[in-house]
Structure 1
Amino acid sequence: MHSTPSPAKLKLETLLQRCEGAYSQNTLRGYRNDLRHFQKWCEKCGEEWLPTEPETIARFIDEEAETKAMATVKHRLDAIRFAHVMADLSCPTEHSEVKLAVRRARRKKSARQKQALGLTSECLSKMVAACPNTLDGRRNAALLSVGYDTLCRSSELALLAVEHLSPCRSSILIPRSKSDPYGEGRIAHLSEETSALLKDWIELAGLESGPLFRGLHTGKMAEKALSTSSIRRIVKRTAEKAGLSGAEIYGLSGHSMRIGAAQDMMVAGIDTLGIMQAGGWKSKNVLARYVEKASTSKLHRRRWEFLNSIPPG
């Protein structure tokens, strides 16, 4: 026997259904999770969640900041703002009480997000070499190399189809991304090595159309594309086969190819605008966080080289 959904849950689902097609499923899924969390907190405190008062949101932020990362607090605040805007209600998140609560949370803990480890060219070579000459091994080698060359997020890799490849497989269309919600797309270029790996995978898998990277079950090809969680597991499993350290494996994620490629481009002397265009970034600040480790390392190497070149005395 099915239980009747609560009025609060029905209100949330009705609100999100209106947004279908205007926002990606990943975005709506994130809003749903954050708003359900806020709903439960409001029910426990005897408060309304929509509309809600600025003082209620401020108390929520104060409590969340005790145990959650600042990024999580911000995501939940964005979800609350979204719900009020979509319900055509005045936005309480702009109230001074809420802004003060956010400042308290930021002062209490670092707002710095943990960054995934960059899968640089050196690391990529080791991992590709560790992929066996099997169906899943050829897929994994092609997946890692395409991710690096295109600077794709895992969600973008999951959207790639055979039809997006150019006839000679020297470039590929990235049809949609987090920073491209309307699907204008961008063209990414592939190295000769990556094109060869893709050729091996496509021919071995017998792909003619549909998702470019698919799951395998007991050696049989799935019809659906790999999920982002599957891509993340492939990255970590391949790193383990390549003999990377436990700390390196732990730091890798589905974003690691994107981060590593951006770091390599910066070290190679490619300017910020060029890297932004290659990876589809809209914000210099976001890119700066990606490449800062490589940037800092390069600056230190230059300093040491300069100091070592000075004659003693």
Structure 2
Amino acid sequence: MNRPVSVSSDRIEKLLVRCAGAYSQNTLRGYRNDLLQFQKWCAANENEWFPAEPATIAAYVDDEVETKAIATIKHRLDALRFAHVMADLPCPTDHSEVRLAVRRARRKKSVRQKQALGLTSDILGKMLDACPDTLLGRRDAALLCVGYDTLCRSSELALLTVEHVSSCRSSVLVPRSKSDPHGEGRIAYLSKETTAHLEHWLAQAKIEEGPLFCGLHTGKISERALTTPSIRRIVKRAGVRAGLNDVEVKSLSGHSMRIGAAQDMMVVGIDTLGIMQAGGWKSKNVLARYVENAASSRLHQRRWQRLLEMSKSRLPMPHSC
């Protein structure tokens, strides 16, 4: 077999530029990083990296599983598949040699991912109580409430503008999401409390158009929308202010509002279809992963309560005098 021709990273960059507009910036940024990591590994091991041979990718998987999570490896294989497909080249990740390497990796390491801590209504209440009565506190409170009510991902919150909010501030159009790449959008509704927090933020910040949530620097409003990393930092900072312990704060993420809201909806008895529609989920399996902790807890609580009721019913009747 002829060795593949070495290709500089410029070709990958051209592929990504060509895909701009067809894919989100976050997706392309992730592909760029994953391809760069694969390129570095190939350079260190004196392998050609693009086009990639199945044997090279299989060796890469065998090596990476020692230090990387299965999800990380999967992301990098997705990036390699993407690059080859966009270059109209045969996809090496479909080769049996790569499939076997992935199976070895899955058997060697658990595929279960750590889930972010769900920002449920109880935790949200503590965070809101701890928000300072300042411009920053107003923004953080509005962001947390809107994120919880809309079940938005951090990337979706970053896309929201004032124009996406209804005139009465009771609903929001989520224009695009990971599961809605073509921008059909979904309507999410806001509680009266969330509407009040949002109105306070917009009024104090004097924002009438543009990004709904923007950065603050030395007390001044930025014209740029918050990024997903900055939203994650805001959530963690709110957790610190609310007195959460170090483990809990570390477990918070930009997805915590989405996870917590889904868990709360499940606990109060909203059916799966309703939760999927509220959060824009397309897969029941993904939703099940989000709410499994709350679901399991609820089932055990019901079991313990039922057993307690049964044990009480079996108590001997007191003897009459």
TM-score range, shorter chain: over 0.9
Partners of 1:45 and 1:127 in 2: CA distance: 49
Deviations 1:53-79 (A, max 9, x none): 111111010001011000000001111
Tell me the alpha carbon deviations over residues 1-60 of structure 1, each in whole angstroms, 9 at most, x when there is no partner: xxxxx9521111111111111111100000000001111111222222221211111101
Q: Give me the whole-angstrom Cα distance separating, in 1, the residues matched to 2:91 and 2:67.
A: 26
User: Could you tell me which residue of structure 2 aligns to residue 162 of structure 1?
Assistant: 162
Hey, what does 1:247 align to over in structure 2? 247
Q: Give the Cα separation in 2 of the matches to 1:306 and 1:176.
A: 44
SS in 2 for 1:278: helix
SS of the residue aligned with 2:172? strand
- 2:110 matched residue in structure 1: 110
- Kept in 1, the 8 Å contact 2:7–2:50? The answer is no
Contact 2:232 2:254 in 1 (8 A): yes
Residue 8 of structure 2: aligned partner: 8
Give yes or no for the alignment of 1:212 onto 2:212: yes
What does residue 193 of structure 1 align with? 193
Alignment-mate amino acid for residue 111 of structure 1: V
Q: Distance in 2 between matches of 1:250 and 1:33?
A: 24
Tell me the SS of whatever aligns to 1:216.
Answer: strand
Residue aligning to 1:177: 177
After TM superposition, the runs of 4+ consecutive aligned structure 1 residues lying more than 4 A away are none
Q: Which residue of 1 aligns with 2:148?
A: 148
Deviations 1:116-175 (A, max 9, x none): 000000110110111111100011000000000000011111111011110100000001
Shift of 1:295: 0.2
- Is the 1:8–1:39 Cα contact (8 Å) retained in structure 2? no
Once the two structures are superposed, the pairs formed by residues 72-151 of structure 1 within 5 Å of their partners are 72-151=72-151
Report the counterpart of residue 20 of structure 1 in structure 2.
Answer: 20
Gaps of at least 5 residues in structure 1 are 1-5
Task: Specify the alignment match of 1:283 in structure 2.
Answer: 283
SS at match of 1:66: coil
CA RMSD in angstroms, aligned pairs only = 1.1
Tell me the residue number matched to 1:292: 292
**Equivalent residues of 2:131, 2:138 under 8 A apart:** yes
Give unpaired runs (5+ residues) of structure 2: 1-5, 316-321
May I ask how many residue pairs the two structures share in their alignment?
A: 308
Report the secondary structure of 1:139's partner residue. helix
Q: Percent identity?
A: 71
TM-score w.r.t. the length of structure 2 is 0.94
Larger radius of gyration: 2
Using the alignment, how far apart are the partners of 2:247 and 2:144 within structure 1? 19
Normalised by the size of structure 1, how large is the TM-score? 0.97
